[in-house]
């Protein structure tokens, strides 16, 4: 790769980051009873011309299986459809991340496909990614 190619790539990444900062709707999810952060959800990689977006989320292990992330994902999905007019909302998760896949399924997202060898795990192994989506009718 030439120096010019690297510079072009850096400029593109900078534009992507600027766009992400303008378009992200990240939020910390806070337990009402304790006031502690139990996870986070957010809208990412929004494409305004479609419009479509992706929901990302994580939860503390100690806060799992309480429905908090499911509730937040449902609320963000409704927000994406009603406020930004999204016609497609995606969730992308590791094939082996069963709790994350269950969140997508509980929120009525449809598994559209599995991308094989789509990413590398921290240990260097190849991982598959599941693509879930909800389409506005």
Residues 26-66: tens digit of each pLDDT: 455 555 556 667 778 899 999 999 999 999 988 877 666 67
Look at residue 18 in the predicted model and tell me its pLDDT: 42
What class does CATH assign to 26-135? Answer: alpha beta
Helix axes 98-106, 68-83, angle to 10 degrees: 50
Distance CA 78, CA 33 (A): 24
pLDDT, tens digit, for every residue of 69-100? 888 899 999 999 999 899 999 999 999 999 99
Task: With CA atoms as reference, report the closest residue to 59 among 83, 42, 88, 37.
Answer: 37
Q: Domain map of the chain by residue range?
A: 26-135
In our burial notation (b when 16+ CB lie closer than 10 A, e otherwise), range 61-87 reads eebeeeebbbebbbebbebbbeebebe
């Amino acid at each position: 790769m030439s120096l010019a190619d690297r510079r072009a790539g850096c400029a593109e990444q900078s534009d992507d980051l600027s766009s992400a900062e303008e378009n992200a709707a990240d939020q910390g999810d806070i337990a009402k009873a304790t006031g502690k952060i139990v996870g986070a959800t957010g809208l990412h990689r929004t494409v305004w011309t479609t419009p479509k977006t992706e929901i990302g989320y994580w939860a503390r292990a100690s806060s799992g299986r309480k429905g908090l992330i499911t509730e937040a994902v449902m609320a963000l999905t409704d927000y994406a459809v009603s406020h930004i007019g999204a016609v497609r909302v995606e969730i992308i998760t590791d094939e082996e991340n069963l709790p994350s896949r269950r969140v997508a399924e509980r929120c009525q997202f449809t598994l559209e496909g599995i991308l094989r060898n789509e990413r590398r795990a921290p240990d260097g192994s190849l991982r598959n990614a599941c693509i879930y989506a909800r389409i506005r009718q």
